[in-house]
Structure 1
């Protein structure tokens, strides 16, 4: 044949490649797109493949990649193994480089991103409120963790509220930004940590524009979009439809594939430039074609395969791969699916290995060795074989059985050998626990929730404990869920899914219903909705803004917060380190009358319920609803009456409500139970001052500062005590220390300005007010105080401008109105 011509046989092989005989229309549509110029209205820049699991989306996307390369395209395939925009771009760089096209500038920027992120984590944890021993304080840990977990550096509910006075909450994000800005040489480095996509994407656009001169097409294929879409969809829409990140060459084609159709709210206006490809189970003709291509043509066999599979490609491929000789060999997938999948595999070791491989949700060699209960060499051999099975989908370096195949395998094992089922999951749970504990060695517990490896191991451990019907697994999962709620909705959703997955795979419909209700609560009410649901199941009292209940009788004592040593300010715990009260547990309830019903009342550990009430209190306090917060803390104290941190929080929240006597009682009890609690001592001193007991207030605040010398909030409160006692020098000394300890606190600078003004040092006071307003341009009190200082210095126009601005910000500010009237009187008189 003439050199370069393609044979008829090769054409046939290409058209039947990978068994895709039934997707000819989709393949031809995609291929023809390369014959259409980008300036032709028929050309499409985006293809979205969608359909139920098992319908063949990944296989079609891989075929698209092959078709694109036949057209000379530069391609990159990305799936859920990439968990962020930077990880997606790293995968693109690797695959383009393997095809001979390095994206060098993007590779360098990604390397810088990895370095800066590591530096940011280290610097933030070290710099924010370090303890005397050099370890990060609990307050600093909360700030750093919230910021670096991608919460936008806006103070959240639980991490911040117990650490900072409500007057300081608005400055938490500025403190963290200041730490990062001081660490890095440029604003660009800060953006590279806090908003990497905004820095990396323009580099990608420039690189693609340069590469476009060397290749006819650039094709990006984004698979498992139901998992990657939550972080990729907005980014992709901005990249394709706006100039925000720069101009893309018009030879870029994007393919996305997931279970759901494209979001019409986001992509509706892009309809003329994209093609939606919904995949359905094969028609009878298509299914027959696939079976025939695999050599299955006997009509009774084909008819039985069609009946049992419903046209799902994965099941058809599996049945075809077994080469059944007669209809009796085609078994029902819902009843004896495993026999169908493995009937012609005679090696009992391999059969056992295939079944064992279904137990974990994801497989690598290490996990497989535990599941199959074999040594490493045998595990390597068997795993290599498992990789060849048609239902073992590759995810990066790991495998996942297709759900349609895995589910009947699990049912078979659970029904055939309940003890073997429990033993297998118990063995896996212990392995995941061992691996998890290894990752924890020498690390602060609070950092673990930022570690994807730790989270994955913990979820694996809980999943297998739940499947093994471990009686402590449910409360432990819910206990973890409470902590996950502090980290945000995304992580809470993963803990809810482990409950749903284990319930489904263990055949406990009640548990699936629980997970479904929690998922619904998360969607409707965020993490607060989740906590409310758990409390409802436990029969907890509803939230109402009624009176606090100090001194409620004990139910089950325990410590709900992590111990915090001298030199660090208390915050809600970042781990599940409760004390050791007698533990109440609950296995799966199996008595619900209908699937999806509200769970019957469950018994949960008192410290866990108290922790949920505390988190709800912190949420109320963040919205400045301290009355509701006090009620929640009363419920928490009914469960754990001797917990000093809960007492300290309630005392602090009672203070701004004017209930000073109750606040003092709580705070004095808290300091008696934990004399090393600087937060409780500082709040106690503040309440004593409000009660007109400045000497006692000074004693309490001095105790707080002895424990934590750089506690800025306590230093400002100590300055106010000095003012009451007529100690001008002591007042200024305390405020000098406060602004040195927290130079980003507008409140501390303003208080220092007031002290200087009171001492007759108005020019110095102006400098302090200027610093405060530079940090917080909306600080009405600082404008009013600066106006008063200008007035005394004879700067009437400046005084009037400042006082007018204070009244714009706070029209009911009586003190500022009086000062403004005085300025007007002096100016007009």
Structure 2
């Protein structure tokens, strides 16, 4: 990792780059870190800058990025424009690609993650019965009872229902919910990309980073006071545990925020982390920066030091104007215009700088629309503005004013001309609205709210309307907040932040209060609490109240709070009986709780309200199928296929209905059609395997189960089903291997114990076989098939009385089961049966 020794001239150029003066100790410490090998005890893997606004954290972080690139590092800089861990990874990948290092597999998975999130409709929760009837319910759902989230397209998993359901009911509900997840996200990777994207994406990121040829990898994470709540736990887990694989030792992570690192998380890692508090410039540093800009007259220097308090962003901005006289610096009560732009003689630049302070986010399109300068000067002024010390270039396209400079500029403009302030913000709102309408392109509202580009345009439009003081701006922003919550916690957080920003920037107390309280609710208790606050105090219209109740119900359902979720859906239906979505979502919670009649009634109403909605009709058919009403199921599923012949869910559900009714040819045709539409439909493959079993074709049965497990290797039912198939083929050792995995995934899977017991008996491992069969019967005392297998095992091992007891119990439960015994088993049990 040794680097070529630079010349004196190169060192001088480096130190003077972009006029960067000061922070010599921090720069030296970071540069020296690249001169120590990762295994050297002096090497640090993480640096953290912290200090108040304007102290120069971003400037120094950017300078560190330059230093890292000089050392040949692959670098990425990310700020709070990324609202989640996957978004941060996407930004890292984009910047690496710009440096010639593509993370191809990560890009593929990130694209899939975005698609899966958009596909995940909250109402698409059909409770699919994947358990063979003889197996009964497993407790698999209980094993995954940690609830998912809903608003971003994540499907909820059953949570604790203590006091609502007994253990047997809970097991049935859990099984159906597990199956519903598998149906909705048939590929295991897709399921994880929705429920836990970091678990899928992080190992791939680390693997591709390990393949990088560059000597160093350096990641720079800014505005950590905002991104830390979701980034810090992930970063700690990634850097200090092997959960996601190995992080390359040549990776250096630098973060910058207003507060120190969490001592509870990072306090024990002092040998690997450097924590650097930043204070304002010392007098020596400030004088050095001014001298580098040619500002050396002592009276002027003293005035700059007095006015700026050593804040680097202010020192840099004043130095840029090169004042020659103390009077040029301005008085402490001077406006932002006087302080930052007094010496700018070009009126176009001056006007553009003020106009461009109004938008929160600035790119070339916004600049051209708002800059008050002649067309011929646009490019020159744009280049000048990008070079100003108070402007941060985020990604080569978008700029951001430093808050320490922007805030006083906004105050000055608002006080100078309140009417002009409102007029310019209305114009900006109109600009973002026109772009938003172009993006809409006739799409449905729900689809638009799932589109991040459209949402961001709507958000900036909302911010400017709030700043303009439009009468309906705040009520509309609160109505939009409901939709933002449905789009995900990240979108909701951005909406709350816009309310807070507008409140502060426009001195609008109501918007500021709402922004503060909604942000606090989201950060502490999530979407449920934020919507509760809105419902209690916002005075929403009836339809918006209903929508808020639906979204809140979805969030509660995701948290496993089923009773409260049902109450929210009931309120939504009462508020807006014409809302098909309210009925559809309530049908889901009713189905979760085993109330299929209630679910069907809700779907009846949803279909009546939207008669052409194939998905609603198919869901109703699925509920009929689960309830055992095959004729009604076939009617609805056939109608859904007529409405949407490409709806693979309806084909698969109808195929499963035919299979249970004994029409194996029809089942085979429908399941085949579902798989034509989606070859990776694991649930359809598993259902078709049952058809092959009924048709006596174990080869094809096994092939379908193999493919289903290739798509979803952590599906306990498919593992158990394949184990049963292998056992029936006399391949007991392979069967035990599959059943071992099934039980590792779901230790409370009753039928897997029984099946493994049967295979262990076939291998002559009688003690282990008896233990498994005993466990199955303990878990479900009326388990006839397990009792039969145990009776045969008792007879084989000479325990005649125990065998007789099991036979008598089977006679009490289902005497026909004894008639279905194989000839071999009947021969073994002959003395007992005769007695």
Q: TM-score if structure 2 supplies the norm length?
A: 0.68
Answer yes or no: is the 8 Å Cα contact 1:651–1:683 preserved in 2.
Answer: no
Q: Does 1:383 align with 2:382?
A: yes
Match of 2:220 among 219, 222, 231: 222
Cα drift, residue 437 of structure 1:
2.8
Name the SS of the counterpart of 2:361 in structure 1.
coil
Answer yes or no: is the 8 Å Cα contact 1:783–1:803 preserved in 2.
Answer: no
Name the SS of the counterpart of 1:389 in structure 2.
coil
What are the superposed Cα offsets for residues 307-360 of structure 1, whole Å, 9 maximum, x if unpaired?
Answer: 432221111222333444555544456751211111122333322111001011
Partner Cα distance (1:647, 1:75) in 2: 52
Q: How many residues in Structure 1 have an aligned counterpart in Structure 2?
A: 707
- For 1:24, the equivalent position in structure 2 comes to 24
Q: Does 1:423 align with 2:437?
A: no
Match of 2:718 among 774, 785, 791: 774
Q: Does 1:272 align with 2:277?
A: no
Answer yes or no: is the 8 Å Cα contact 1:713–1:738 preserved in 2.
Answer: no
Name the SS of the counterpart of 1:55 in structure 2.
coil
Match of 1:820 among 787, 796, 806: 787
Partner Cα distance (2:623, 2:210) in 1: 58
Partner Cα distance (2:34, 2:619) in 1: 70
Superposed counterparts of 1:330-729, under 5 Å: 330-331=329-330, 336-372=335-371, 376-397=375-396, 398-441=398-441, 451-537=451-537, 602-622=538-558, 625-650=561-586, 653-654=589-590, 666=602, 668-677=604-613, 703=639, 706-707=642-643, 728-729=661-662
- For 1:561, the equivalent position in structure 2 comes to none
Name the SS of the counterpart of 1:471 in structure 2.
coil
Q: Judging changes above 3 Å, is the alpha-carbon distance between structure 1 residues 672 and 798 closer, same or farther for their aligned structure 2 residues?
A: farther
Match of 2:210 among 195, 205, 230: 205
Partner Cα distance (1:663, 1:174) in 2: 20
Partner Cα distance (2:16, 2:673) in 1: 73
Partner Cα distance (1:646, 1:339) in 2: 56
- For 2:95, the equivalent position in structure 1 comes to 91
Partner Cα distance (1:125, 1:65) in 2: 33
Answer yes or no: is the 8 Å Cα contact 1:715–1:737 preserved in 2.
Answer: yes
- For 2:178, the equivalent position in structure 1 comes to 170
Name the SS of the counterpart of 2:274 in structure 1.
strand
Q: Judging changes above 3 Å, is the alpha-carbon distance between structure 1 residues 333 and 89 closer, same or farther for their aligned structure 2 residues?
A: farther
Q: Judging changes above 3 Å, is the alpha-carbon distance between structure 1 residues 518 and 197 closer, same or farther for their aligned structure 2 residues?
A: same
Answer yes or no: is the 8 Å Cα contact 1:648–1:666 preserved in 2.
Answer: yes
Answer yes or no: is the 8 Å Cα contact 1:37–1:43 preserved in 2.
Answer: yes
- For 1:559, the equivalent position in structure 2 comes to none
Cα drift, residue 408 of structure 1:
0.9
- For 2:142, the equivalent position in structure 1 comes to none
Q: Judging changes above 3 Å, is the alpha-carbon distance between structure 1 residues 653 and 169 closer, same or farther for their aligned structure 2 residues?
A: closer
Cα drift, residue 427 of structure 1:
1.6
Cα drift, residue 817 of structure 1:
6.0
Q: Judging changes above 3 Å, is the alpha-carbon distance between structure 1 residues 21 and 622 closer, same or farther for their aligned structure 2 residues?
A: closer
Superposed counterparts of 1:177-326, under 5 Å: 178=186, 195-208=200-213, 211-212=214-215, 218=216, 220=218, 222=220, 224=222, 226=224, 248=248, 255-291=254-290, 293-296=292-295, 301-324=300-323
Answer yes or no: is the 8 Å Cα contact 2:654–2:670 preserved in 1.
Answer: no
Superposed counterparts of 1:111-150, under 5 Å: 111=104, 113-114=106-107, 139=124
Answer yes or no: is the 8 Å Cα contact 1:51–1:278 preserved in 2.
Answer: yes
Q: Judging changes above 3 Å, is the alpha-carbon distance between structure 1 residues 68 and 120 closer, same or farther for their aligned structure 2 residues?
A: closer
Answer yes or no: is the 8 Å Cα contact 1:77–1:220 preserved in 2.
Answer: yes
Partner Cα distance (1:685, 1:364) in 2: 51
- For 2:138, the equivalent position in structure 1 comes to none
What are the superposed Cα offsets for residues 38-79 of structure 1, whole Å, 9 maximum, x if unpaired?
Answer: 665444454332222321223334544666678x66574634
What are the superposed Cα offsets for residues 361-394 of structure 1, whole Å, 9 maximum, x if unpaired?
Answer: 2222210122225665443232122223221222
What are the superposed Cα offsets for residues 178-202 of structure 1, whole Å, 9 maximum, x if unpaired?
Answer: 45989xxxx99xx999834423433
Name the SS of the counterpart of 1:84 in structure 2.
helix
Partner Cα distance (1:38, 1:653) in 2: 53
Cα drift, residue 492 of structure 1:
2.2
- For 2:800, the equivalent position in structure 1 comes to none
Partner Cα distance (1:13, 1:463) in 2: 43
What are the superposed Cα offsets for residues 86-132 of structure 1, whole Å, 9 maximum, x if unpaired?
Answer: 5425534645x6xxxxxxxx53xx2465467658877x799x89xxx
Cα drift, residue 261 of structure 1:
2.7
Q: Judging changes above 3 Å, is the alpha-carbon distance between structure 1 residues 813 and 738 closer, same or farther for their aligned structure 2 residues?
A: farther
Partner Cα distance (1:425, 1:236) in 2: 39
Partner Cα distance (2:98, 2:283) in 1: 41
What are the superposed Cα offsets for residues 437-478 of structure 1, whole Å, 9 maximum, x if unpaired?
Answer: 333336676565565543432322222222222334334433
Partner Cα distance (1:642, 1:471) in 2: 29
Deviates most, 36-45 or 505-514: 36-45
- For 1:58, the equivalent position in structure 2 comes to 58
Superposed counterparts of 1:142-161, under 5 Å: 156-158=149-151, 159=153
Superposed counterparts of 1:44-55, under 5 Å: 44-55=44-55
Partner Cα distance (1:420, 1:810) in 2: 80
Deviates most, 476-485 or 307-316: 476-485
Q: Judging changes above 3 Å, is the alpha-carbon distance between structure 1 residues 494 and 177 closer, same or farther for their aligned structure 2 residues?
A: same
Partner Cα distance (2:748, 2:217) in 1: 58
What are the superposed Cα offsets for residues 600-648 of structure 1, whole Å, 9 maximum, x if unpaired?
Answer: xx33232221111112223344456544333212211232122234234
Cα drift, residue 169 of structure 1:
3.7
Name the SS of the counterpart of 1:207 in structure 2.
coil
Name the SS of the counterpart of 2:310 in structure 1.
coil
Answer yes or no: is the 8 Å Cα contact 1:61–1:221 preserved in 2.
Answer: no
Answer yes or no: is the 8 Å Cα contact 1:168–1:745 preserved in 2.
Answer: no
Q: Judging changes above 3 Å, is the alpha-carbon distance between structure 1 residues 177 and 285 closer, same or farther for their aligned structure 2 residues?
A: same
What are the superposed Cα offsets for residues 167-220 of structure 1, whole Å, 9 maximum, x if unpaired?
Answer: 6542455456645989xxxx99xx999834423433433434xx54xxxxx473
Deviates most, 515-524 or 677-686: 677-686
Unaligned runs of 5+ in 1: 98-105, 130-135, 142-152, 213-217, 538-601
Q: TM-score if structure 1 supplies the norm length?
A: 0.69
What are the superposed Cα offsets for residues 386-427 of structure 1, whole Å, 9 maximum, x if unpaired?
Answer: 223221222222322111111111111111112211221222
Q: Judging changes above 3 Å, is the alpha-carbon distance between structure 1 residues 26 and 716 closer, same or farther for their aligned structure 2 residues?
A: closer
Name the SS of the counterpart of 1:399 in structure 2.
strand
Deviates most, 233-242 or 624-633: 233-242
What are the superposed Cα offsets for residues 215-251 of structure 1, whole Å, 9 maximum, x if unpaired?
Answer: xxx473615252666776567656765676558466x
Unaligned runs of 5+ in 2: 1-5, 127-145, 159-172, 709-715, 721-741, 792-805, 808-828
Answer yes or no: is the 8 Å Cα contact 1:753–1:765 preserved in 2.
Answer: no
What are the superposed Cα offsets for residues 695-735 of structure 1, whole Å, 9 maximum, x if unpaired?
Answer: 77876666556545787887898899999xxx955698469
Q: Judging changes above 3 Å, is the alpha-carbon distance between structure 1 residues 675 and 234 closer, same or farther for their aligned structure 2 residues?
A: closer
Cα drift, residue 259 of structure 1:
3.4
Deviates most, 275-284 or 375-384: 375-384
Partner Cα distance (2:413, 2:442) in 1: 39
